[in-house]
Chain A
């Protein structure tokens, strides 16, 4: 499949103000994004997400590594003409009204006046800012600015949208709207790359993710790969299956809690759960519930980012 984004061996060092200290914001980042994907770029604050994204859109130059965006170099006119970018906590000319800001950018894109007006009207309606046309951006709330940011990122009807923390600073309704918008972009055949340190929404949204921490990629893959069904645990409620210690000694059992007289909650590895169920049923016990404990991205994230072998080796 064709790659829309290729990042290879990216490194970026900053020198602090007095050239005293070198900050290694990005140490080793590589990934590819295929056309039509929703791609999640995950990592805690300070992981190097924004730095990576800034190199992808040509705002900063990498110290080392190679980046290709739709086959071209970041910053090239033909490349920038086909992408949309939402910076983290976007800032705009606050003396303009939203339609004036979009009009300025529309001129830069070279959209003819009639098309400009049509697109701007449609986008302001789409991001729910129709009512705010009379106000300058100075009077906009953080969430409203985020919406303006999304509108300006879509103004050129781009093939690829790069969004830095698009869900931060929004209230729950706003988050839901942006999530729906991202899903609708995918439906229209666009590629969406977005970063986040908040995981709950990404779980539903992304086809593939990269997890980054302290400037290094810790994990990459489809959500299926990373949260593989085979590896997820099962929670089984059993009654009359013996003592907790007996249950704990069975193969595949991770933990046992007594939750009532003769009732235990057993957490077992997914691939051993059938075996376990057969065993307790054979002993005449009653199974009152089985639920899959799908490993959450959160758990994976903590696992990979903070306790992974690479993290320790990098110290």
Chain B
């Protein structure tokens, strides 16, 4: 932690640490976390006593899906108020007037939330593994990779939430970000529609342009979803996880950069 960037890391760390402490002392968040774990456990434990192979697969697929979705929900709900709350409660006055760059404050807030997402993921992941183990379902071999990928997805949604909240209200930002999540999850579907030789996307240039720009401006979230591979036993190598991480990082940098640009120029009244 020395040299020119030592100070930057230290300052970002201080803000991230505090953001993490805030969530860990927030009763609503802790309640939500416990409820999420309970949900994962109960929904999977209830489904009958004996398990066919078929149902065991459903258990794996549904479990991963629930965890990934809950991660995204946490990312969006906490991401859109990450900055808003500090401005609304005027707690930024005493932070931004310290020797710290605004972009460092923003990065610290983001990293703090990513740590919270990682912790929630570990909690839910452990609950999931516990249920699979209790039900004698063999653990999918690439379970950890799948969970890491769902964290990447949540990280990306956090960056998008931060971006929208730079100029929209929390509720509106939440709606936009969730919209981006839905569209992002359907990018492969849209891409397939674009290859069709018939239909409105082939005949209507305006519709085609809209679909094409949507596809290119929205991160493809299917990259982070390996539920099918898990069920079919197709290996998800760490190489793939690394590549997906790079893809996630690139988009995060873009959205974070845009949010930071707005944040930098903003007046704090």
Point out residues on A near B: beta carbons under 8 Å: 14, 54, 57-61, 77-78, 80-81, 83, 85, 87, 90-93, 95-96, 100, 104-105, 107-110, 149, 152, 156
Cα distance A92–B95 in the bound complex, in angstroms: 9
Q: Decide yes or no whether B90 CB sits under 8 A from chain A.
A: yes
Question: Chain A residue with minimal CB distance to B14?
Answer: A107
Q: Decide yes or no whether B168 CB sits under 8 A from chain A.
A: no
The answer to whether B99 touches A77, judged by C-beta atoms less than 8 angstroms apart, is yes
A interface footprint on B182-198 (CB within 8 Å = 1, 0 otherwise): 00000000000000000
A interface footprint on B1-32 (CB within 8 Å = 1, 0 otherwise): 00000010011011101100110011000000
Question: Chain B residue with minimal CB distance to A90?
Answer: B94
**Chain A nearest CB: distance from B156 CB in Å?**
27
The answer to whether A95 touches B98, judged by C-beta atoms less than 8 angstroms apart, is no
Contacts A95-B25, A107-B14, A108-B11; A57 near B97 (Cβ below 8 A): yes
We find that the number of chain B residues with CB closer than 8 angstroms to chain A is 28
**Chain B nearest CB: distance from A165 CB in Å?**
13
The answer to whether A108 touches B99, judged by C-beta atoms less than 8 angstroms apart, is yes
Q: Which of B13, B17, B91 contacts A91 (CB under 8 A)?
A: B91
Cα distance A95–B269 in the bound complex, in angstroms: 23
Chain B residues, CB < 8 A from A105: 94, 98
Chain A residues, CB < 8 A from B7: 110
The answer to whether A80 touches B93, judged by C-beta atoms less than 8 angstroms apart, is no
Question: Chain B residue with minimal CB distance to A56?
Answer: B97
Most chain B beta-carbon neighbours within 10 Å: one of A90, A93, A105: A93
Chain B residues, CB < 8 A from A90: 93-94
Chain A residues, CB < 8 A from B268: 54, 59-60
Chain A residues, CB < 8 A from B101: 77
Contacts A81-B99, A91-B89; A149 near B269 (Cβ below 8 A): no
The answer to whether A61 touches B96, judged by C-beta atoms less than 8 angstroms apart, is no
Chain B residues, CB < 8 A from A152: 94
**Chain B nearest CB: distance from A144 CB in Å?**
15
The answer to whether A96 touches B21, judged by C-beta atoms less than 8 angstroms apart, is yes
Contacts A87-B90, A92-B91; A80 near B97 (Cβ below 8 A): yes
